[in-house]
Amino acid sequence: MPSWTSIRTETSAAGSTHDVIRRQYIKRLADYTGRNVIVYYSGWLEKATLQAQGLQGFEVNDSDKNGFMATIHEMDRDKGLDLLLHTPGGNVAATESLVDYLKAMFQNVRVIVPQLAMSAGTMIALSASSIVMGKHSSLGPIDPQIGGVAAHGIVEEFQRAHREVREDPGTIPIWQPIIAKYSPTLIGECEKAISWANEMVKRWLMEGMFSGEDDPGQAADRVISELASHALTLSHDRHISLANAQRLGLNVEELEGDPELQDCVLSVHHSCIQTLAETPAFKIIENQNGIASIMAVNLRPA
């Protein structure tokens, strides 16, 4: 007969109703594809108020590596990996480290974007062998962020200030308080971050998605010239649709092309979003075996 302690442990491991339902759908997806599945979901949309109040951790960061290590442990890595990605992006260094780790663990990684994979999330998607998107899915520009501001935007603002002051010194009083908010070394940091992100993504595309092209470098440059150009994308928040991703030559599979896969993916997506909206959880990293790293906010009264 199970003891009180063992039953309590079993109950705790089973999780809430949200956990039970979500894990059921993640396993169903893995059973259908015959591949490993990891969901990486951020609740930046569902908990935007808490983010605005200073809650940290919604973005891609170095602590995520621990969640991936836990979920990948004991997987049959020969099955490859389907990574369901829903994120606003985050730190470039953490993104590089995470992608390098996934590439070391799996020879074939497919990224599935049920809704949004922006900024560093797009960079992760571009490192994959292929991307699955629906008509409702979006990628985004890959220009890096410095202190929450697009690096390209900061560089452009400095260049505009330099040009206008040179042409009309009378604009100095206008530009002085604007430029004063930036540190002296910021422009150099922005330029290095832009170059770093571009070189990183180009290498991933050449080694992965475009490795079979006649000229992988040229194919990669075509993608980077558009997704990394602030002048073309205009906003860091711009959404890149399935059709636009295909136009760029990316290896994109249409989710609607496989109705059963679509049903499995959207069931996982909806269950993850409901968890983020209706529980204290604000980030979920979880595999088809129910192994999870879930970050949650303490909502207890002060």
Cα 269 vs. chain centroid, distance in angstroms?
15
Local confidence pLDDT in tens for the 302 residues of the chain = 555 565 445 556 666 789 999 999 999 999 999 999 999 999 999 998 887 788 888 889 999 999 999 999 999 999 999 999 999 988 888 999 999 999 999 999 999 999 999 988 999 999 999 999 999 999 998 877 766 677 777 887 888 888 888 888 888 888 888 888 777 788 888 888 888 889 999 999 999 999 999 999 999 999 998 888 654 444 556 889 999 999 999 999 999 999 999 999 999 999 999 999 999 999 999 999 999 999 998 755 44
Name which CATH class applies to 15-140+239-302: alpha beta
Query: 92-105 vs 64-72: helix axis angle to the nearest 10?
Result: 10
Q: What is the DSSP letter of 300?
A: S
Instruction: Please say whether the dihedral angle defined by the alpha carbons of residues 218, 130, 139 and 58, taken in this order, is positive or negative.
Output: negative
DSSP codes of every residue in 238-269: --B-HHHHHHTT--EEEGGGSHHHHHHHHHHH
CA-based end-to-end distance of the chain: 41
**CA-based R_g, the chain, Å:** 21
Contact 282, 42 (CB under 8 A): yes
| Alpha carbon distances (Å) from 262 to 32, 108, 138 | 11, 20, 16
For the chain, the domains span 15-140+239-302, 143-234
